[in-house]
Homo-oligomer: A and B are copies of this chain.
Amino acid sequence: MDDILQSEAGQRLRSFIERVERLEEEKDTIARDIAEIYKEAKSTGFSDKVMRRLVALRSKDDNTVKDEEALLAIYKTILGME
């Protein structure tokens, strides 16, 4: 079994996994930080839900957003949702 653990392949796999794990940890930390901010904002009276929508919105191409909104409005009209 030693030969497997010490093998080229084994060392490569181990390296890949460890690199991923380190990055995952960083990612989780950041995700937690983001959650913290929303929480803080919420406790100040802002809606975290709406803030999330806002952030998502800002990250998208402007024209795409406009187009979709326009289409949505049309569909609403067709369905009589004024």
Contact = CB atoms under 8 A, between A and B. Distances in A.
Interface of A: 1, 4-5, 9-10, 12-14, 16-17, 19-21, 23-24, 26-27, 30-31, 33-34, 37-38, 40-41, 44-47, 49-51, 53-55, 57-59, 68, 71-72, 75-81
A9 B13 CA distance: 42
A60 to B, nearest CB: 12
The quantity of this chain's copies bound in the complex is 4
11 contacts: A9-B45, A9-B78, A12-B41, A14-B78, A16-B38, A16-B40, A16-B41, A23-B37, A27-B34, A50-B71, A54-B79
Nearest to A21: B55
